[in-house]
Amino acid sequence: MERRNVIKSLGIGLLGLGTLPSWANNWNSDSFENLTFANSEVFIKIVDCLIPETNTPGAKSIGAHLYIEKVIKDCYSEEIQNEVKQTLEILNKEAVAKHQKSFEKLDNLQAVDILKNSTSNKKTVEFLKNLTIRSYTSSEYYLTNHKNYQMAPAYFHGCVEI
Amino acid sequence: MANFNIDSKKKRTFDAIVIGSGISGGWAAKELSEKGLKTLVLERGKEVNHGDYPTTMMQPWEFEHLGQITKEMKDANPIATKCYAFGEDSSHFFVKDAEHPYIQEKPFDWIRGYQTGGKSLLWARGTQRWSKYDFEGPARDGFDVHWPIGYDDIAPWYSHVEIFAGISGNKDGLESLPDGEFLKPHEQTCVEKHFTDQMRKHYNGARPVIIGRCAHLTDPQPIHYQQGRAKCQQRNLCQRGCPYGGYFSSNASTLPWAKMTGNMSMRNNSVVHSIIYDEKKQKAVGVKVIDAISKQEIEYFARIIFVNGSTVNTNIILLNSKSSRFPNGLGNDNGLMGKYIHFHNFETGISGEYEGFLDKKTDGIRPNGSYIPRFRNVKKQETDFLRGYASGFSASRMEITNGEGWGEELKNNLFEKKYGNWRVGSHFMGETIPKISNYVKLDETLKDQWGVPQVRIHVEMDDNDAKMVKDFKEQLTEMYTLAGFTNIKTRSRNSWNPGLDIHEMGGVIMGKDPKTSQLNEWNQLHHCKNVFVTDGACMTSNSTQNPSLTYMALTARAANHAVDEFRKGNL
C-alpha cells in the first residue's frame, strides 16, 4: 500500500480549508491497491448516526468515514480488518432482517439502534465508535470552535481559575 | 591515491575536519571556524537546512492517520518506531531499521537520525549541569576508570554554551545540580508547586523538586537574534523541527553561525569509513569518506580531526581506522576501545492522581516539565546499590472527552466541558555503571552498504540497575503518598532495551591513564593527539543528567584547546 506523502497534504492544507481534512480533498479509495475493503457507504452511515449533523457539523461532514477507512487499512492488522469486515456484514444482515434495506439506507435512528443492539462483536463496534470520536475531536471544526485550540500559544500559565 | 593531482588535494585540505553535525559536531564546527580555522564538516545524512521541516506547520487534522504510525512502517521498523518521538510528523528524521543494520548480541534499540543536525532536531532538550559529585563519583565508588577533569574545569564551558544555546531555568542554588546562565524559567503547575512544597517539608530540603532546565528561548537575547532565532512559541511540536529556532539545534544555531564565519564547509552524504594515520608523521592526516549515494571513495585532509559521529558510530570509525601502528583501531593500544559502553536506565516510571485544586487548571502549552534531581547517594553511600537516579515530574489537567451515548446524546457529551483530576507522573533516569563487559565491536565479515564493518552491540542491565529500579518505585511511591496523591501505579517497561534512552555513551572514554582510557583531559586520543572525541563516546560515566549539555561544553572546551595547540604548532 502506498503511503501518501505528507508534504503534499501540507500544500493543500495551506491553500484552502474546507470542512474536510486537507488530505481527504485529494484522496479516494481507488488510490489503493488491493481494494478489498470498499465500505465507504456503510462507514458514512456509521459515523453519521453516531455523531449526526445538527445545527453544527457532524462526523460525516468532517470526513470521519474517510479517516476510519484509511486508518483501518493503513494502521491495523489483517485480523482487525477482518473483524471489521465481518461486523459490517452482520450489521447489514441485521438491517435487512429488521428493515428490509441495507444498513447504509437506514435512517440514523434505525442505524444507531442496530449498532447498539447488534449481535456482532461489541469490541469492534466500540472500536469503530472510538475511531469516529477520535476523528471528530481532532477535526478543525471541533478543535477551533470548541477547544479554543491554538497551535502556537506562546504562553503557559501553570495555575488558572477554571 | 595516485590519480589525484596536487590541486585536487589542496581543495580537499582544511585546517580541521569535524565528523558529524549533531549536537556536539555543531559546536566543534562553530568554535573552530569562529577562531579562524578552515573547517570541513562531514555529515553522513541528507541535507536539512534550518527551515526544511516539512511537517512543522501542519495542523493535527492534516495528518492522514492523525499522527498514528502505519502498520507498514511499524512492521518494517520495529526498533525506530519504539522511540517516543517517532510519529507521523517526524518519521522522516529517523534512520529506518533496514537502512543501517547492526548485530544485537543483546537487545539494543539503536535510535539514529542521519541528517544535518543529527538528533539535535529530535532531542528532549533537557539541559542540567553535572555537579562535582557527578565527576567525582567513579573515583569514590571504585569504578574502573575515573574522570580526568572535575566540575571546575568544565564550569566556564557550561556557561559558554548555555549563553549561546539559550537555556531556560530557575536559579535553585542546589549543590547537586549547579545553576547555570539561565533565561526565564517555565512555570510549575499548581500541583507541581504543591509537590515541591510537600517534599521540602517532609524531607527537610533533601529532595528538591524544580522546574526543568531546558534549551528553549523563553527570553531571547541579542546573541540569539544574531543567530536568526526567535522566542519559543510553546507549541511543543519540537520533533518536527522548529521554524522559529525556539529550541536549540545545530540546524538553527551552531551550523548557521559557523557558516557565517566563512570558514566552514559542509559535505552531506559523507559516510566516514576511517581516519587516515600517517606512520611517518605519527599523526592522523585526514579521513576516508564514502559518498552515501554514489558509494565513491574520497579523501579529505586536515591537521585537526574531531570525531562527533554519535557514540556508536564514533566507536565504529575509530575501530575501523587500522594502520600498522594501530592494528586494533586508532589510539587503541590498550585494547579497551569499544568497551565500557553505558547508558541511562529508563525502564520504570510512576503515575497517580491528585484530587485537590479542582477549581484550577493550566492554560497554554509548556514544552518542559518539573525535575527531581538525584537525591540518592549524592554525598555518601546510603543504599545497597551504587549511584542514583533523577526523575521527571509533571502534573497536568486535561478536559475529559465523554464518549458515552449514541447519536445526538453522544454529540452533546463531546461538547461538554469537564475536567478530570490532576494527573501526575514521573519517569526514571538511572545512572548505570560502565563495565568492561558492555561493548561494541566490529563484525569480522558483515559490512554495511558503504563497506564499513557492521557493529555488534552487547549491552546488558545488571543487578545494580534492578536494585535501583526497586528503590525508585519505593521512594517515589512514598513521595507521592506524602503529597496526597492517589491511584499511584508504578510501571515496568518490559519492551524497553538499553539504547532506547538515546543516551548511549562510552567506548572511547576520558581518563588519566592511557592503560585504561583512550582520551586525555582535553579529549585528545592519548596516542594520537590531533584526534579529538567529544560526543557521547568520550563519557567516563553517565550520572543522571540528560547528557547533551555536557557534550556541548566538553566540545567547546576541547575545540578551544585544539585551536591553541594548533596556533602553537603542536598539532
Residues 6+ apart with CB under 8 A from A156: B186, B187, B234, B362, B363, B364, B365, B366
Angle, helices A78-99/A40-50, rounded to nearest 10 degrees? 70
Out of B55, B362, B415, name the one closest to residue A6 (CB): B55
* B417: number of Cβ within 10 Å: 10
Check: CB of residue B336 under 8 Å from CB of residue B437.
no
Transcribe B267-302 into DSSP letters. Answer: ESSEEEEEEEEETTTTEEEEEEEEETTT--EEEEEE
Note the pLDDT of residue A118.
Answer: 85
A154 and chain B: CB distance < 8 Å anywhere?
Answer: yes
Rounded Cα–Cα distance for residues B192 and B266 (Å): 44
Q: Which of B404, B100, B51 is nearest to A130 (CA)?
A: B404
Angle at B538 between CA B533 and CA B541, to 5 degrees: 170
Q: At residue B236, what is the residue type?
A: N
H or E stretch including B134?
helix B132-140
Q: Is B124 exposed, middle or buried (0-12, 13-18, 19+ CB in 10 A)?
A: buried
Note the pLDDT of residue A30.
Answer: 46
Note the pLDDT of residue A2.
Answer: 37
List alpha helices for B420-462, DSSP H.
Answer: none
Q: Is B170 exposed, middle or buried (0-12, 13-18, 19+ CB in 10 A)?
A: middle
pLDDT at B399 over 50: yes
Note the pLDDT of residue B7.
Answer: 77
Matching residue, cell 565527576: B135
Check: CB of residue B389 under 8 Å from CB of residue B376.
yes
Note the pLDDT of residue A38.
Answer: 58
* B283: number of Cβ within 10 Å: 17
Rounded Cα–Cα distance for residues A49 and B527 (Å): 74
A139 and chain B: CB distance < 8 Å anywhere?
Answer: yes
| HEC assignment per residue over chain A | CCCCCHHHHHHHHHHCCCCCCHHHHCCCHHHCCCCCCCCHHHHHHHHHHHCCCCCCCCCCCCCHHHHHHHHHHHHCCHHHHHHHHHHHHHHHHHHHHHHCCCHHHCCHHHHHHHHHHCCCCHHHHHHHHHHHHHHHHCCHHHHHHCCCCCCCCCCEEEEEEC
By DSSP bridging, strand B528-533 and strand B297-307 are parallel
Q: How far is A83 from chain B (nearest CA, A)?
A: 17
Check: CB of residue B232 under 8 Å from CB of residue B202.
no
Average pLDDT score over residue span B315-328 = 98
A31 and chain B: CB distance < 8 Å anywhere?
Answer: no
Interface probe for A, chosen from B53, B57, B64, B89 (most Cβ of A below 10 Å), is B64
Q: B219-278: per-residue pLDDT in tens?
A: 999 999 999 999 999 999 999 999 999 999 999 999 999 999 999 999 999 999 999 999
**Around B199, how many Cα atoms within 13 Å sit in the side-chain half-sphere?**
24
Check: CB of residue B508 under 8 Å from CB of residue B318.
yes
Q: Is B351 exposed, middle or buried (0-12, 13-18, 19+ CB in 10 A)?
A: middle
- Dig out the grid coordinates for B526 from the structure: 592519548
Contact B60 A77 (CB under 8 A): no
Percent of chain B with pLDDT over 90: 98
Determine phi and psi for B415, rounding to 5 degrees.
Answer: -95, 0
Note the pLDDT of residue B493.
Answer: 87
Strands (E), B357-462: 360-364, 370-372, 389-396, 422-431, 439-447, 453-458
Out of A6, A115, A157, name the one closest to residue B54 (CB): A6
Transcribe B71-92 into DSSP letters. Answer: HHHHHH-TTGGGSTT-STTTGG
Contact A14 B415 (CB under 8 A): no
Q: Provide, as residue numbers in chain A, all residues whose Cβ is less than 8 Å from the Cβ of B189.
A: 158-159
Q: B52-66: per-residue pLDDT in tens?
A: 999 999 999 999 999
Out of A1, A108, A137, name the one closest to residue B401 (CB): A137
Rounded Cα–Cα distance for residues B215 and B33 (Å): 23
Check: CB of residue B19 under 8 Å from CB of residue B272.
yes
pLDDT at B454 over 60: yes
Domain ranges of chain A: 35-145
Note the pLDDT of residue A17.
Answer: 36
C-alpha distances (whole Å) from B305 to each of B460, B500, B537 are: 32, 29, 15
Out of A10, A58, A158, name the one closest to residue B362 (CB): A158
H or E stretch including B473?
helix B463-482
- Dig out the grid coordinates for B522 from the structure: 582535553
Residues 6+ apart with CB under 8 A from B437: B339, B458, B460
Check: CB of residue B176 under 8 Å from CB of residue B133.
yes
A67 and chain B: CB distance < 8 Å anywhere?
Answer: yes
Note the pLDDT of residue A121.
Answer: 80
Average pLDDT score over residue span B319-328 = 98
ipTM over cut 0.85: yes
C-alpha distances (whole Å) from B387 to each of B186, B376, B507 are: 29, 7, 20
Average pLDDT score over residue span B420-441 = 97
Q: Provide, as residue numbers in chain A, all residues whose Cβ is less than 8 Å from the Cβ of B407.
A: 49-52, 108-109, 112
Q: Which of B157, B23, B138 is nearest to B541 (CA)?
A: B138
Q: Which residues of chain A have pLDDT under 70?
A: 1-39
Average pLDDT score over residue span B69-77 = 97
Average pLDDT, chain B: 97
Check: CB of residue B127 under 8 Å from CB of residue B489.
no
Note the pLDDT of residue B196.
Answer: 98
Q: Provide, as residue numbers in chain A, all residues whose Cβ is less than 8 Å from the Cβ of B64.
A: 4, 6, 9, 21, 23, 27, 67, 70, 74
DSSP-assigned letter for residue B69: P
